Amino acid sequence: MMQKQTLAVLLSLTCLLTGCAGQDSPGEIPEETVLEAAGLAAEFKSTLMAALKEGLADGPGQAIGACSIRAPELAAEMSVDGVGIGRTALRLRNPVNAPEPWLEPLLKEYLEAGPGAAPRAVRIDDATVGYVEPLYVGKPCLACHGEIIAEEVQVQIAEMYPDDNSVGFREGDFRGLLWVTLGG
Ligand code: HEC
């Protein structure tokens, strides 16, 4: 009993000091903000998937170019007017996609949660809301992130991303997060 109370006091103190950064505070995040973030995430995903499919139609060797150029380009195009958008992962291909501090605990939670976890909105600070959607490995992803990778793809990955740590995945594995920030 005593311990529980102490914990509660400690938690509320921590919240006062940190503003509960990275914690869920659903009451404080307006629904329209969550919907706006979800809309941006959907737009990012469908645009990137279209580029990936187009590239894969010419073979995974071609698609790497589409993906390595298009993903950062799209993130930059959409990161305007107080919006931030991008992808991150625990096992990275491109070190540029390393997680911001608010994303680190979420990555671990989604990894532990297993497949099918729901998107989440969190308050990063007074002015900024973060939104994340988990990305799982589907069949088309295996050509570049799976256990067996074609030689021409391996060669390109090794050249472009010498520290690549994002192969060896299986279908259904948690691959990373698509994130959106609003208002920052
Ligand atoms: C044609 C090869 C290719 C395919 C297919 C592919 N990716 Fe990637 N992936 C890449 C490349 C190249 C990068 C680095 C691009 C960048 O800078 O964002 C990357 C980066 C990522 C990242 C960003 C984190 C990191 O490691 O840098 C995530 C998340 C990701 N891929 C998930 C997926 C998912 C999910 C699929 C299937 C829907 C998929 N990828 C299919 C080549 C591919």
Which sequence spans correspond to the domains of the chain? Answer: 30-182
Mean of the pLDDT values across residues 161-172? Answer: 97
Cα 136–105–42 angle (5° rounding)? 40
Give pLDDT tens digits for 99-120. 999 999 999 999 999 999 999 9
Residue among 93, 133, 157, 174 whose CB has most ligand 1 atoms within 8 A, to mutate: 93
Q: Taking a C-beta distance cutoff of 8 angstroms, is the pair 50, 145 a contact?
A: no
Q: Answer whether residue 27 shows pLDDT above 70.
A: no
| Residue 103 beta carbon below 6 angstroms from any ligand 1 atom | no
Burial of 159 (0-12, 13-18, 19+ CB in 10 A): exposed
Residue among 70, 79, 94, 133 whose CB has most ligand 1 atoms within 8 A, to mutate: 94
Distance of CA 183 to the CA centre of its chain: 18
Q: How far is CA 23 from CA 98, 156, 164, in A?
A: 20, 39, 31
Which residue's alpha carbon is at the smallest distance from atom 29 of ligand 1? 176
pLDDT at 19: 44
Q: Answer whether residue 18 shows pLDDT above 80.
A: no
pTM of this prediction? 0.86
Q: Residue ranges of the alpha helices (H) in the chain?
A: 2-18, 31-57, 60-78, 104-113, 142-145, 151-160
